[in-house]
Amino acid sequence: MRQFIILGHDAAVTPDFTLNDLPGSAGRIDVLCRCINSAFLLSHGLREDVRVHLVLQDRYAIRLEGSELQYVNPDERSTAALLKRALEKAQEVDVTMEQRSSPGIYIKEQGFSKLLERVADEAGVVQLHEDGDPIETVSLPENPLFVLSDHNEFTVDEEQLLQEHASHRVSVGPKALHADHVITIVQNVVDRSQRQ
Amino acid sequence: MRQFIILGHDAAVTPDFTLNDLPGSAGRIDVLCRCINSAFLLSHGLREDVRVHLVLQDRYAIRLEGSELQYVNPDERSTAALLKRALEKAQEVDVTMEQRSSPGIYIKEQGFSKLLERVADEAGVVQLHEDGDPIETVSLPENPLFVLSDHNEFTVDEEQLLQEHASHRVSVGPKALHADHVITIVQNVVDRSQRQ
């Protein structure tokens, strides 16, 4: 199982954004949509052994399960509609316990700290950071949990938590890249390591 | 200089599509938008040493110049608006000679065969294909021109042209990936080879 946590620092936490302006009205939720695309999509289908956790403004955790997902297409707009549905769910019902908003998508009121503590129990935490060690020089854990930030830097508190939990801090290359590109490269590195 | 040719077999060749339905009304022009994102965008800016050629239904070639581009944002919708503007230009003026539609974006009535012949003169042609040799085992040309197909297979004619012009046929990994993910990985491989 490969897992990713993506920290969406500005992402909308209410569903009242328009799909016609994802970068603006939805607080750069387009970034998270592209991350979902990179984490799950293969040319012919979905990666079933992948789980993604999105953290929206340290308030909601949205979990996406590759083995259950349906209706995930490559374009940003249709993925944003699924996230909007999850945020609607959080307005309709109590989400202090996790609730399903559509097949394979679950939302819970939970911040990064609690989420990381829970998930780190069953996975090897790897922070993705442009200043980390080159990924090709690192021996990745068997069940990796990659943590990365959206278009913003990690906050001081997030860095502190990651220092406590992460076994590695790795970089995917010499240039600073967008989060979705980083995920694409990580998936490829792990794919190739499993072929060898 | 790194160049890419992306073959958009179904992509719209008229600007009468809606930005609200890129996968449907625009003939999967969303695929090309994501390829542009992967080819040019860094976390803080654009790759200036990159040129992308999109071939739309073997009828129009749209050239994007990294050193001149402006208004290119990561989201699909804003990139699609730039391609729509290029197709409007092709309706307004004669584009048998290349015409500029916005900063760094040029359109010309030209198919893949003529485009490849012209560009191959100044570059080493590399076909990207899931059945190719692993990219890490190949010595890439100094000024590579990577040719890849959208969500469709290469046609028989395209394969024939590439057999004539390409020095290599390479794959980026063991899994078949979307074109934009392939570009992200290629950019990373070349970035890392230049660091060494």
B interface mutation test: which of A178, A187, A194 has the most B CBs within 10 A? A178
CA B78 from centroid of its chain's CA atoms: 17
pLDDT at residue B134 is higher than 90: yes
Q: How is residue A116 written in tokens?
A: 């990381």
Q: Closest chain B residue to A38 measured between Cα atoms?
A: B181
Residue A46 has phi, psi (to 5 degrees) of -110, 150
Give the minimum alpha-carbon distance from B177 to chain A in angstroms, rounded to a whole number: 4
Residues of B with CB under 8 A from a CB of A: 19-20, 22-23, 30-31, 34, 37-38, 41-44, 73-78, 130, 134, 136, 151, 172-178, 181, 184-185, 188, 191-192, 194-195
Give dist(CA A36, CA A30) in Å, integer. 10
The pTM assigned to this predicted structure is: 0.96
CB A115 within 8 A of CB A55: yes
CB A68 within 8 A of CB A56: no
Give dist(CA A9, CA A57) in Å, integer. 5
| Model pLDDT for residues B48-100, shown as the tens digit of each residue | 999 999 999 999 999 999 999 998 999 999 999 999 999 999 999 999 999 99
Query: Sign of the C-alpha dihedral, residues A11, A12, A13, A18?
Result: negative
Q: How is residue A187 written in tokens?
A: 């998936």
CB B72 within 8 A of CB B10: no
**Parallel, antiparallel or unpaired: strands A45-46 and A41-42:** antiparallel
The answer to whether ipTM exceeds 0.90 is yes
| Model pLDDT for residues A65-112, shown as the tens digit of each residue | 999 999 899 999 999 999 999 999 999 999 999 999 999 999 999 999
